[in-house]
C-alpha cells in the first residue's frame, strides 16, 4: 500500500486517523500495531514473516544483553557474542534476500562458469529500512545508550509504525519510545501534520511522477540511441524526480506521524543548496547519513587516526552506502563516485570551493549531482557508462531532446528547479514555514484543499504512480 494510492487516501488513512483519535492511548498503541501489520501485509503477504521474525529475534537478543548487563558477574561477557550473533542474523537476512543473486552472478562471471542457479528472490519491501532500525536498536542497547525494551508490543510498534516502515526515515528507538509512552494529538499538531502530508503528496504526484514518466520512456530505449542532449535532459529530470519523490514521501511520513502523535525526524534539508559533497550528504537522506556516521564511520575510527585512515574510512562508508541502495555494480560505482569526491574534498578540493563565488560552487554541485543520479538510475553499470559517454561526447542519437521536451514538462521542470531549494534560499520565511508548527490561515487552508484536490485529480487521471523504493 502506497501513501499516494487511492485505497490509502480514501479508506485506510481516514479509518486510522478517526480510530486513533477516539481510542484510549494504550488501546491506540495496539491499534497502531494492527494498522501497521495491515499496511505492510497489503502488498507483502509472502514476506511478512521476515519482518516478524526479525522483530522477535532482536527483541529476545536485546533482552538477553540487558539481563547480562544487569548481572555483570553472571554472563556479562556474553553480551559481545549476542551482539555479533544479532548482527550476523540481521545482515544475513538482508544479504540473502537482497544480494544472493548478485553475488552468485558476479562469482559466476569471474570464474567463467555458473556457480549456482539464480533464485530470483523477491525483495521484501522496506527490508533495508527496518533491518537498519533493528541494528541501531541492538547496538544502542549493547552500548547502554538505551535499556532493552521489556514490552514486545512497544518494539513491535517501533518497527510496524506504517508512516516510516517501507521508505524511512530510519528512526532510532531512543527517540521513538517517548511517543509510545506519551503521545498526544492537538488541533495544532494535527493541522501541521495535514499540511506537511499534503505538501509531500503534491511533490510526489504533481512533480515527481511528471518527471519520472519522461525518464522511464527515454531509458526504455538502448543507450546508444539516446542523444547527448537528451541524456543531459533526463539526467536533470531524474535529479528532480528523486528529490521530489523521496522528500515528498519524507514529508508525508512526518505529517502522518504528527497527525498520529509521533515525532519523526526530518530527512531532507534542501540538499541541492549544498556547496560541496560533504554538505550534500548532511542534507540528503539525513537519517541514513547519520546512521552510517554513528554505526560505521565512527567505529572505524572516523577522522581521529590521520588523513589517510580518514580517507579510507570515507571510501568504506560510501561503498557501503552505494551497496545499501541496491544489488548492482551501478550502485557500487555511484557510492565510490561520491567516496572519491569526498576524499578529494577532504584533501584539497573543499578549500578551493570555499573561495569560489556561491553560484559557481552551486553549479559545480548540481553538475556533480546530475552525473551521480544518472549512474544511479541506470539499470546496469554498462548502460550507465554508455549513457554518460553519450552525454559527455554530445553524440547524436535516434532519440533526441526535441522528441520528449514538451511544454508541460518544461514548465514543471522550471517549477521543480525553483522549488528544490532556490526559492527557499531567497525566502527564508517559506523555508521556516515548512517546519514551524504554526496555525494555518484561512487562505492557506483553502490553498491546501485546492492543492490536495489537484493532486488527487492528477493521480486519478494517470496510471503512472511508481514506488522507487521497491529496490531498497
Per-residue pLDDT tens for 153-163?
A: 999 999 999 99
325 is catalytic: yes
CA atoms within 13 A on the CB side of 356: 15
Range with the poorest average pLDDT among 96-100, 398-402, 407-411, 461-465: 461-465
Q: Count CB neighbours of 68 within 10 A.
A: 20
CA atoms within 13 A on the CB side of 470: 10
**Nearest 10 degrees: CA dihedral of 291, 295, 297, 302?**
120
Q: What is the pTM of this model?
A: 0.93
User: Residue 220: which pLDDT band, with cuts at 50, 70 and 90?
Assistant: very high
Closest alpha carbon to 270 in 384, 453, 152, 426: 426
343 contacts 314 by C-beta, under 8 angstroms: yes
The pLDDT, as a whole number, for residue 207 is: 96
Q: How far apart are CA 264 and CA 254, in angstroms?
A: 5
Share of the chain above pLDDT 70, in %: 97
Residue 431 has pLDDT above 90, yes or no: no
The H or E element spanning position 402 is none
Range with the poorest average pLDDT among 44-48, 130-134, 200-204, 216-220: 44-48
pLDDT one-digit tens code per residue, 101-134: 888 888 887 777 777 777 777 888 889 999 999 9
Q: φ, ψ for residue 399 (rounded to 5)?
A: -105, 120
The pLDDT, as a whole number, for residue 372 is: 96
Q: Where do the structural domains in the chain lie, given as residue ranges?
A: 6-183, 188-460
The pLDDT, as a whole number, for residue 427 is: 84
Catalytic residue among 154, 325, 355, 433: 325
* 3-state SS assignment for residue 226: strand
168 contacts 287 by C-beta, under 8 angstroms: yes
Residues 6+ apart with CB under 8 A from 270: 283, 420, 421, 424, 425, 431
61 contacts 82 by C-beta, under 8 angstroms: yes
Amino acid at each position: 500500500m502506497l501513501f499516494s494510492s487511492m485505497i490509502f487516501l480514501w479508506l485506510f488513512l481516514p479509518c486510522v486517523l478517526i480510530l486513533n483519535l477516539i481510542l484510549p492511548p494504550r488501546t491506540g498503541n495496539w491499534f497502531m500495531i494492527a494498522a501497521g501489520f495491515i499496511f505492510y501485509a497489503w502488498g507483502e503477504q509472502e514476506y511478512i514473516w521476515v519482518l516478524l521474525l526479525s522483530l522477535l529475534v532482536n527483541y529476545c537478543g536485546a533482552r538477553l544483553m540487558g539481563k547480562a548487563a544487569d548481572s555483570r558477574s553472571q554472563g556479562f561477557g556474553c553480551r559481545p557474542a549476542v551482539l555479533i550473533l544479532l548482527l550476523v542474523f540481521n545482515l544475513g537476512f538482508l544479504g540473502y534476500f537482497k544480494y544472493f543473486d548478485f553475488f552468485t552472478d558476479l562469482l559466476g562471471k569471474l570464474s567463467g562458469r555458473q556457480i549456482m542457479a539464480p533464485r530470483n528472490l523477491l525483495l521484501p519491501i522496506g527490508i533495508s529500512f527496518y533491518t537498519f532500525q533493528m541494528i541501531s536498536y541492538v547496538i544502542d542497547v549493547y552500548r547502554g545508550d538505551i535499556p532493552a525494551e521489556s514490552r514486545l508490543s512497544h518494539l513491535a510498534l517501533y518497527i510496524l509504525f506504517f508512516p516510516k516502515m517501507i521508505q524511512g526515515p530510519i528512526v532510532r528507538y531512543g527517540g521513538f519510545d517517548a511517543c509510545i509512552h506519551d503521545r498526544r494529538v492537538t488541533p495544532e499538531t494535527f493541522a501541521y501534520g495535514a499540511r506537511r502530508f499534503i505538501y509531500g503528496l503534491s511533490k510526489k504526484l504533481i512533480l515527481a511522477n511528471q518527471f519520472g514518466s519522461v525518464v522511464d520512456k527515454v531509458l526504455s530505449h538502448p543507450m546508444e540511441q539516446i542523444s547527448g542532449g537528451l541524456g543531459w535532459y533526463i539526467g536533470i529530470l531524474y535529479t528532480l524526480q528523486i528529490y521530489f519523490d523521496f522528500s515528498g514521501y519524507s514529508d508525508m511520513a512526518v505529517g502522518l506521524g504528527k497527525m498520529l502523535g509521533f515525532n519523526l525526524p526530518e530527512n531532507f534539508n534542501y540538499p541541492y543548496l549544498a556547496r560541496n559533497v560533504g554538505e550534500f550528504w548532511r542534507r540528503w537522506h539525513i537519517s541514513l547519513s547519520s546512521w552510517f556516521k554513528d554505526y560505521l564511520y565512527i567505529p572505524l575510527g572516523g577522522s581521529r587516526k590521520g588523513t589517510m585512515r580518514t580517507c579510507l574510512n570515507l571510501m568504506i562508508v560510501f561503498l557501503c552506502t552505494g551497496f545499501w541502495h541496491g544489488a548492482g555494480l551501478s550502485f557500487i560505482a555511484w557510492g565510490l563516485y561520491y567516496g572519491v569526491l569526498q576524499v578529494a574534498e577532504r584533501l584539497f578540493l573543499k578549500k578551493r570551493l570555499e573561495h569560489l563565488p556561491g553560484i559557481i560552487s552551486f553549479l559545480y554541485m548540481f553538475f556533480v549531482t546530475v552525473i551521480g543520479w544518472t549512474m544511479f538510475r541506470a539499470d546496469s553499470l554498462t548502460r550507465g557508462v554508455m549513457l554518460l559517454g553519450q552525454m559527455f561526447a554530445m553524440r547524436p542519437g535516434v532519440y533526441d531532446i526535441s522528441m520528449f521536451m514538451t511544454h508541460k514538462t518544461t514548465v514543471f521542470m522550471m517549477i521543480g528547479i525553483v522549488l528544490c531549494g532556490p526559492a527557499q534560499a531567497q525566502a527564508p520565511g517559506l523555508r521556516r514555514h515548512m517546519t514551524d508548527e504554526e496555525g494555518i490561515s484561512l487562505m492557506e487552508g483553502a490553498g491546501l484543499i485546492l492543492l490536495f484536490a489537484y493532486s488527487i485529480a492528477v493521480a486519478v487521471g494517470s496510471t503512472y504512480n511508481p514506488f522507487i523504493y521497491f529496490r531498497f
